[in-house]
Amino acid sequence: MKRILIPLLLALTLSACTAPEKKNAPAYLDPSVPLEQRVEDALARMTREEKVAMTHAQSKFSSPGVPRLGIAEVWHTDGPHGIRPEVLWDKWSQAGWTNDSSTAFPALSALAASWDRDLALLFGRSIGEEARYRKKDILLGPGVNMGRTPLNGRTFEYMGEDPYLAAQMVVPYVRGVQENGVAACVKHFAMNNQEVRRTETNSIVDDRTLYEIYLPAFKAAVTEGDAWAIMGSYNLYNGQFNCHNKRLLCDILKGEWGFDGVVVSDWGGCRDDDEPVTNGLDIEMGTGTDGLTGSGNPYDLYHLANPYLERLKDGRADEAGLDDKARRILRTIFQTSMSPGAHYGRFVSPEHYAAARKIAAESIVLLKNDGVLPLQIADGGSLLVVGENAYKKLTVGGGSTNLKTKQEIIPLEALHEYFDGKVKVSWERGYVGDITTTFDRVDTGQDLRDERSPETLIADAVAAAAEADVILFIGGLNKSANQDNEGTDRTQLELPYGQEEVIRALAETGKPLVVVNISGSAIAMPWADVAGAIVQGWYGGSENGRALVDVLTGAVNPSGKLPFTVPFRLEDGPLKTERQYPGIREEGQRYWDEYYDEGVYIGYRWYDTQGIPVQFPFGYGLSYTTFEYSDAKVAHKVVKGAGTTAVSEATGSGKTLQTVTVRVKNTGPVAGAEVVQLYVADPEASVDRPAKELKGFQKVFLQPGEAKTVSFDLDRAALSWFDAGNHSWVAEPGTFQILVGSSSTDIRTTAEFQLK
């Protein structure tokens, strides 16, 4: 029996990993044939019906291949932060698998807070390996929409408020994912900057704002990261739905940027029979059917299904347009499941847990420290932990980022693990926020019910503080409705659930108090003055607790920097009117118009230009050591072709004109990393420009007393603004100021140069 089974199993294993060699196989099945030749060979063999079938879903998360030709179907999966658990063929409900518990990686707002391109590459490689192991072809992420308002429910899924930062972080993420033969589907294109009425809001944006703020990260993903897929967004732009928006998809994405990949609709984002045919959509997903209703195959009712076939038959659609869609889909298939490389992936591995922990730890931002951190509690001492987020698991919920994880180390568990009985660690809840433990049939297994009143919860926490050496409050937001959550926006900038009262009551005990805010977006902190230390944590994934403890105890010196501004009040921000947010609708009008009247002035561009004080500025973050900046210098570089007036998007892809150097020294007692930030100011511009704009950053690690010279190259793109009238980028002659520092307001050294 063994002599029969072992060769059989070996043959099955080999057939699953590598395609057998075929004599005289058609070109499209030969991995050694160039990609475009494979695409054209397959296309020539396909019928019209087979081509149309590929352009729409066949289940909740798959779209067809060509079975007759042995061309694989396409499997999509949610997860900018981890691979979604399997769902039923026609329903959103979980399929009930026991082997689909993934590694949860930190939220993308956390990744952005690391300001570390190498970590973005590690993140992409790791999550790409998990997707490949699960046989997924398109990973629905990362997200790079701008932080226009801190109330946006999906801020935690995006990479901050600055287009340069997001562009620099998305490129290595995309490359890392695609190294595994998995397409990164960058989303949501474009201006998907709020969740309230997200499917019926029309974004009205001028071209300068569009090109300077809301497009650069997407363009970098395409032109520098070579992203293989883009997802359209639910909203409209200038009156047309973005999943079939001609300006965005045809003119800009596939025209100006030369994108040769596939455009995928957001689930249910396709709304019309005609526009998807001509306006750049390639794969329609999630449209108005669960596959269980109607006669025949309900997926044939999709806009790009039978209605598309009818248009082709009667001449309302042309074959050339269909062939373009089919080419893009075939290109995706031959780059993923039918690629020449052998991609196996790995899943919930020790390496992935280590990556998640490293990314989470290096993203944590130290906002305030009066000497309370790192924690120093003598053996036999006592630590009181207060707050729901010390205990509540946070990978479940949030919408499409909902994950079923093999493990999630909560902060309370990690603290017990670290102190190992040498220090007494006790926990009081302090407040009741969200007792939900289940989302989409994924359950944490926790029981969060608590019948105590808010007053009793606070009193119990204060009483427990009497015996504590240090109080550690761990609160913040969660992934329930009106918090950090897909489908809803936040309703306030302040902490919910009465947490401010808890913090102030704990501060009145006189014990050293550390406040850890776990969230994916900015919160107001009117209580900041009563805390001895404040730490911005994030949704840190499977190793969240251990990463947080690494920083709190000094095992990791904090080096994260804020990827967004933390204002004192929501009213201080740039969105002042209802027409700006959440939008207005005239009588009889179908959709809500949302006017981007603030133009390019979002985030620090608004606060720094207007001179409005903020609680914590963009780019801010402390360390357990200190850094000294000096000797900013600018050297002109003569580069052949640099004098051209044609410049690229401001993502660092043009000719180098100036090299800026600055000396940075660790003047403190411990080793640490500093994010050196370079901002450019154009005080002589002929148009209104922000007071400064981020155009370079580097994370440099230094031992105590060590100094290094950090170098930045600036090209014309870094100096340019977008001239909408001429549809071109303009770098005007005159004086430019170089501002180098530790945040957008903490400028340590400056220089200037003349552009002739």
Tens-digit pLDDT profile for residues 577-613:
999 999 999 999 999 999 999 999 999 999 999 999 9
Contact between 665 and 706 (Cβ < 8 Å):
yes
pLDDT (0 to 100) of residue 609 = 98
Closest CA to 75 of 198, 220, 183: 183
Sign of CA dihedral 290, 296, 297, 300: negative
Paired strand residues for 365: 536
Contact between 94 and 441 (Cβ < 8 Å):
yes
Secondary structure of residue 494 in the 3-state scheme: coil
Scanning 509-602, the segments in alpha helix (DSSP H) are 544-552
CA distances from 176 to 115, 128, 268, 707 (A): 16, 7, 28, 31
SS3 content of the chain, % helix, strand, coil (to 5): 30, 20, 50
Residue 519 amino acid letter: S
Give the pTM.
Answer: 0.94
Residue 542 in tokens: 């499977």
pLDDT (0 to 100) of residue 297 = 85
Report the distance separating Cα 517 and Cα 515, nearest Å: 6
Active-site residue numbers? 266
Paired strand residues for 94: 87
Report the distance separating Cα 184 and Cα 137, nearest Å: 9
Secondary structure of residue 231 in the 3-state scheme: strand
Report the distance separating Cα 155 and Cα 521, nearest Å: 6
Contact between 531 and 503 (Cβ < 8 Å):
yes
Scanning 71-143, the segments in alpha helix (DSSP H) are 108-114, 117-133
Distance of CA 756 to the CA centre of its chain: 38
Contact between 450 and 435 (Cβ < 8 Å):
yes
Q: Which helix (H) or strand (E) holds 564?
A: none
Distance of CA 226 to the CA centre of its chain: 17
pLDDT (0 to 100) of residue 295 = 60
Distance of CA 63 to the CA centre of its chain: 25
SS3 annotation, 138-151: EEECCECCCCCCCC
| DSSP conformation class of 416 | H
Q: Identify the residue whose tokens are 């561009």.
A: 605
pLDDT (0 to 100) of residue 365 = 98
Closest CA to 527 of 497, 510, 507, 552: 507
Closest CA to 561 of 700, 376, 411, 703: 700
- Across 427-447, b (16+ Cβ under 10 Å) vs e yields bbbbbbbbebbebbebebeee
- Across 622-638, b (16+ Cβ under 10 Å) vs e yields bbbbebebeebebeeee
CA distances from 409 to 63, 191, 508, 545 (A): 36, 35, 31, 5
Report the distance separating Cα 195 and Cα 143, nearest Å: 14
Per-residue pLDDT tens for 675-729? Answer: 999 999 999 999 999 999 999 999 999 999 999 999 999 999 999 999 999 999 9
Q: Cβ–Cβ contacts within 10 Å for residue 94, how many?
A: 17
Distance of CA 213 to the CA centre of its chain: 16
Report the distance separating Cα 668 and Cα 650, nearest Å: 35
CA distances from 528 to 35, 366, 525, 534 (A): 57, 13, 5, 8
| DSSP conformation class of 250 | I
Radius of gyration of the chain (CA): 27
Residue segments in the chain with a per-residue pLDDT below the cut of 50: 1-21, 639-653
Report the distance separating Cα 716 and Cα 212, nearest Å: 14
Q: Which helix (H) or strand (E) holds 204?
A: strand 201-204
Domains and CATH numbers, the chain: 2-90+100-335 (3.20.20.300), 364-556 (3.40.50.1700), 625-755 (2.60.40.10)
Report the distance separating Cα 724 and Cα 206, nearest Å: 8
Report the distance separating Cα 202 and Cα 595, nearest Å: 8
